[in-house]
Amino acid sequence: MSRPLAVICLAAGLGKRTKVSLPKVLLPLCGRTLAQSALLATAPLEPARVVVVLHHQKDKVQKALTESLAGTFGRLEFVDQGAPKGTGHAVQVAMQALADFRGDVLVVYGDCPLITTQTLYELCELRGDAPCSVLTAFPEDATGLGRILRDDDERFIGIREHKDCSDDELAIDEINAGFYCFDSEALRPALASLKPNNAQGELYLTDVVATFVQRGAEVPTLQAEDASEITGVNSLVDLALARALMQERILWEHLQNGVLIVDPSATWIDHGVTIGADTKILPGPVIGTGCAIGSHCEVGPFAHLRAGTVLEDGAEIGNFVEAKKTRMGAGAKAKHLTYLGDAVVGAKANIGAGTITANYDGVHKHETRIGARAFLGSGTVVVAPSEIGDDAMTGAGAIVKRGSKIGPREVWVGVPARLLKQRELAPAKEKA
């Protein structure tokens, strides 16, 4: 950015229409919250200041954003709007925290998670020497959205809130997206002049823009190429629609990077997942934030990979297998009906159907270590912490007690499992 940038994120709304107790801006969306997604879109712009305006359940929202965005920005600043009195009032409160700031002020929304960095960058660059720039869009349904007013020469002359529109103005299909980039020095006096002269008795941020136009200033507008970017989430129906759009973006990125997703319509992958080229994703998997999958792997069908799971190159996780905080070595396989929690599985190990690492003792989680080329028979239960050596084997239905250490090539069977013999390995094939 050519000028210093401050971001104001409006996240004080009550969210009554969601009908859930969770603050609206903390609703989940593909491994992030709504507000986290909105703020992350601003991060590549390298803002000097980021101010989040809160009120409803402010302590919970502040804690969640501070934790989820740790290390993303130099510092997040939070202000309490108090009783919300409109978008203009929210920005007034935020600008009090930015009293010493000079530069661009970008306004975004904690319930608009689909906005992209590129659009925000273009909006800021567009402002130039103007007092502000305005983002517009042409959605399929403009109901409830403010309309963009233009003169006969198509120059921007104002914004009319939906509830204040005449019948002719309601027929306009270009809407105000609500995202603005302001010159801080122009914004302050315009905010101070706001009056609640509208049907809701609120202070509208759109009236700030109107002030600039009335003073004869040119206000440039940017049309969002994809109207879905400005989608706001006000209900759980909106959330479901936003999730479908965000999921499509995530899947398309993996497809473009050489990941074979057999059926994108039946695949759930969160943000923050890395997948190598030539990996095949079969239908029905759920892959959560914080998973890393190498190349030439296979996942699914109906697998569940949770945070901290790593599949090294060539590893395979199959039908109805759940893995949490587990590392599968190169070429290791767990193909059927298995739970692997807090486990380290060596290269080319084979985990039989129905195997469970019993990692939780009711108070703490414990780790299971399974060596390279180990073979666990169907229905094995390994009570953690335990270790299974390289090339070791368990018989079907074996119960490996807590604290067990199965040595290399040892075969253990029974309930509880006991040493039976040393495993005989096939001689390695000599290369021609």
Catalytically active residues, by annotation: 336
- The angle that helices 206-214 and 184-192 make with each other, rounded to 10 degrees, is 100
Contacts 24+ apart (CB under 8 A), 346-351: 346/370, 346/371, 346/372, 346/373, 346/374, 346/390, 347/312, 347/372, 347/373, 348/372, 348/373, 349/373, 349/374, 349/375, 349/376, 350/374, 350/375, 350/376, 351/376
CA atoms within 13 A on the CB side of 83: 1
Contacts 24+ apart (CB under 8 A), 286-292: 288/31, 289/31, 289/32
3-class secondary structure per residue, 202-235: CCCCHHHHHHHHHCCCCCCEEECCCHHHHCCCCC
Tokens representing residue 299 in the block = 């996942």
In the DSSP assignment, the letter for residue 360 is B
> How many Cβ atoms sit within 10 Å of the Cβ of residue 132?
26
- The angle that helices 87-97 and 184-192 make with each other, rounded to 10 degrees, is 120
- The angle that helices 87-97 and 206-214 make with each other, rounded to 10 degrees, is 90
Nearest-angstrom CA–CA distance, 317 and 372: 16
> How many Cβ atoms sit within 10 Å of the Cβ of residue 352?
23
3-class secondary structure per residue, 92-118: HHHHHHCCCCCCEEEEEECCCCCCCHH
Query: Cis link prior to 285 (omega < 30° from 0)?
Result: no
